Amino acid sequence: MSAASPHLHERELIGRARRGDEGAYRTLVERYRGELHAHAYRMLGSVHDAEDAMQDALLRAWRGLPRFDGRSALKSWLYRIVTNTCLDLIKKRPKKVLPIDHGPPGDAHDGPGVPLTESIWIEPYPDEALADGRAAPEARYEQRESVELAFVAALQHLPARQRAVLILREVLGYSASEVADTLETSAPAVNSALQRARKTIDETLPERSQAQTLRALGDDRVTEMVESYMEAWERGDVEAVTAMLAEDAAITMPPMASWFRGEGVEIFLREWAFSGRVYDLEGRRSVRVLRASANGQPAIGTYAWNDEARAHLPTVLQVLSFDGDRITEITGFVDPTAHARFGLPDRL
């Protein structure tokens, strides 16, 4: 099939794609892939599930393109297909959560425990993949706010159709009639679902979003705090790390279900995370840390020395949540394969 120029007018590309030009179709899709993927992530709470949904949705769109009548914008039509694909997937896969929503805090003296084999955990989302999307003026949430861990976790508490309504209306700024068309329901039903979804979200979310908190702190202060945290983590300095934490701060480690709060965080750091189990060839604790960004929040990728590889290999991607100038939550995704999605090297 012929390759399409990215500069061709959309109407011409649609015409070529409807006649079977796969290159034209790929060009059309690439214009919206980033924002559609972010939409699927908000719906599903998982990068891997979002990728599965996108693959299925774009295949559906390709097969259905001859029936696309142009009465709505192509992007709106694609959003409709991705939304309904996600709704189908939600019926087949377990709800995604964070450990704090999975059970009560554990005894930090017992350590992190073993990972759960069932894939129920919310996954981190790379900021580089976040597109601005449609974001009409009436949208309630900014694009970065809408992928914050707390927001994505709160979305997963909603019934699937309420989740879709809230995202389409308050993140993407679609009208009630447009959402009704997407979900094949009525505008009054959409407004009713939105009211219920808002109530749940408002009761679940912190008073201030991370975007608001970080803006209030300013880039220089955020950079200073994160760099101090990184240096303390590399040193294994329990006192320095705990001095940066809020009194009731929590640490979670998906896919481990265990998590700790308050005093338990210090116990975990002292007895487990910073206990000197990682040594280099000269017998010294050897951990390295690189700055990253995930879910619109500061993040760090940690690396530990590996004798066999004779290098530092990825261990945990930590996403940091703040309240003022104190860290309220350390969400440590214990998945060495995650580093690559965030532009971090596979070894140091």
Question: Beta strands 311-323 and 326-333: pairing type?
Answer: antiparallel
pLDDT, tens digit only, all 348 positions of the chain: 455 555 568 889 988 988 999 999 999 999 999 999 999 999 999 999 999 999 999 999 999 998 888 778 999 999 999 999 999 999 999 999 999 999 999 999 999 999 998 889 999 999 887 765 545 666 788 888 999 999 999 999 999 999 999 999 999 999 999 999 999 999 999 999 999 999 999 999 999 999 999 999 999 999 999 999 999 999 999 999 999 999 999 999 999 999 999 999 999 999 999 986 555 555 556 899 999 999 999 999 999 999 999 999 999 999 999 999 999 999 999 999 999 999 999 999
Alpha-helical regions (H) of the chain: 10-18, 22-30, 33-44, 47-64, 74-92, 99-102, 149-155, 160-166, 176-183, 187-204, 210-217, 219-235, 238-243, 263-268
Instruction: Answer for the pair 100, 256: CB distance below 8 angstroms, yes or no.
Output: no
Structural domains of the chain ordered from first start? 216-342 (3.10.450.50)
Which tens digits make up the pLDDT trace of 155-212? 999 999 999 999 999 999 999 999 999 999 999 999 999 999 999 999 999 999 999 9
Which tens digits make up the pLDDT trace of 251-270? 999 999 999 999 999 999 99
Place of tokens 């140091």: 348
3-state secondary structure of 11: helix
pTM recorded for the entire structure: 0.93
Place of tokens 């590889």: 309
- Torsion angle, CA of 195/201/207/210, rounded to 10 degrees? -120
